[in-house]
Amino acid sequence: MKILSLVIFLLIHPVHVSLTGIEYDTTNRCWSLFVKVYSDDLEADMRLGRSAGGEISGEEKDRFFQYLSDRVVIMEDGRQLEMKLTDIVTDGPEHRFTLRAEGGKRVENVTVINRIMTRLHDDQANMVLFSFDGIEDGYRFTPADTMKIYKVK
């Protein structure tokens, strides 16, 4: 009976969460990102368009890239990195994406912005695992808190 009550509660009040892993390879100066989101929320948030206005359109892969590059941003010392979408996996109720970006030689500060579904759900939690040359941090981004700066040098 307790399990049935919990299942009913979760159906009535769904969890609004995404997971992002960000890792920097110092040898190759390359950023790797992994993003996992629920498919139904992803489609709903994509229909809202870009954060600064404008539609997300085109073929499916282009639409996903436009969405991700708008909602997840990495900056090195104030310079936004250009990411490339390298893999898309759709598995039942979730989408998983892999992105890559080339990093700079000397970096002092890394800014991470995560706005995944922050206009869609007031209780959205975007969990980020950040790794840079021995620095490892887990952070919970919310609609009210979409940016974190890491001092890496």
Residue 125 has pLDDT above 80, yes or no: yes
- How far is the CA of 127 from the CAs of 47, 56, 63, 110, 145, in angstroms? 22, 24, 23, 17, 12
Is 0.85 topped by the overall pTM? yes
Domain edges within the chain? 16-151
pLDDT computed for residue 92 by the predictor: 82
Q: At 101, give phi and psi (nearest 5°).
A: -150, 145
Q: pLDDT per residue over 27-76, tens digit each?
A: 999 999 999 999 989 999 999 999 999 999 999 999 999 999 999 999 99
User: Which residues, other chains included, contact 3 with Cβ-Cβ below 8 Å and sequence gap of 6+?
Assistant: none
